[in-house]
Amino acid sequence: MSKKHYGVVGHPIGHTLSPFIHTRLMALAGIDGEYGIYHITPEELDTSFVKLMGELDGINITIPYKQAVMRFLNETDETAELYGSVNTISITHTEKTAFSAKGYTTDGIGFSDALKNAGIPIGDNVTVVGCGGVGRVFVNTCLAKGTKHINILECSQALNNAKTFAQSINERYGSDTASVFETSQFDGESSLLINASPIGMYPKTDACAVSDNVILKADNVFDAVYNPSETLLVKKAKNMGKNAITGMTMLVYQAAAAQTIWNSVTFDPDDIKQLAEDCYKNLG
């Protein structure tokens, strides 16, 4: 069996745990493969990304390209089509220079499994900060799990995008399902508060996605940011007695799902748990 080649694409993309995670997962599954990091600027995307697809067997997509790369794909699975974003691409090489690319999203699987392992229920009234690719996945996953209402929070510059997305949600689930607020103006309650934005990510670790009052009014907190191991949002939530976690376990579970797509392999939950713990150590 020939060696497999994978990688992650994003901008900016400095220290990422994806190579560490996927190298371990491939070792666990007995796969001969390597995993690289590819920084592509928006100006280079149209040319560099297509070239990269011709060289790799699979690609992970991170901020800010989860929606933008969809135009390069031959097809997407039903979940990615529904969520309007992809984080995993499987590439089939048919000839020396010809290939076919299919997009998936494993964010929803990772998100659900991370909450389940932490004993965090989603509940009926969820607040999501950020309306990018992963934010849309969280919204749709929560609704699929039975959430009745979603508050979508965005900065003033992105409100129109959030309103368009909320309109599509309301058309699908009912007119009162999704509401949109400018983040600084929201002061409501939440069964689960989710940060789907990069706010609080290293190196800007002194930033918090929402006000203390919004955290206080949330039953539980999930921050998709995984670096640092404890974001300011999670730290504040824990100090208030909330059950709060960052996105590390989600990151590992979604990577495992990507390997399942690429190589039809499965993993022991105990191995996933240990790998998540080792990832925190790797962050240093």
Structure tokens given for 52? 């990269």
State yes or no: is 242 an active-site residue.
no
Catalytic residue of the set 3, 4, 51, 66: 66
| Active-site residue set | 66
